[in-house]
Amino acid sequence: MEIWINPACSKCRGALSLLDAEGAEYTVRRYLEEPPGEDEIRDVLARLGLEPWEITRAQEAEAKELGLLEWAREPGSRERWIGALARHPKLIQRPIITADDGTAVVARTEEAVRDALGRG
C-alpha cells in the first residue's frame, strides 16, 4: 500500500504510527514534493469512490485565492477541480492510503487506517 502524506500533518503522523504499530508494509509518498498528476488524481478518486471536491481542503489559503467555494460541484466541473488539485497539491485532503486491493481511503481517523489495513 501507499500513503500520501504531508509530514507536518498530525493526522498523517498518526496514521504512520498506527501502520508501524501494526507492522504494515507501505510506501510513503510526500505528495507536496512529488505531486500527483491529473490521471493519478482521477485514479485515486475512482478508488475512493469520491468526487474531487470531496477531497479538497477548502480552508486552505490557496482554495480561497482560487475561489473554490464558489465552484460548481457537478459532473461538468469535475475536470476543473481535478486540474486545481494537480496544480495545487496542498488542497488534497490527507492522508490518503491506496490499498493493494485497488481501493483507497482518506485515513484521517484510526478507524479509516484500520479499514485500509484490512484491505491489504
Q: How far apart are CA 84 and CA 95, in angstroms?
A: 18
Supply φ then ψ for residue 2, to 5 degrees.
-125, 145
Set 2, 3, 5, 9: catalytic member: 9
Provide the pairing of β-strand 104-106 with 96-98. antiparallel
Q: In the chain, which ranges are E strands?
A: 2-5, 27-30, 96-98, 104-106
The answer to whether the beta carbons of residues 57 and 93 sit under 8 Å apart is yes
Residue 12 bears catalytic tag:
no
Active site residues: 9
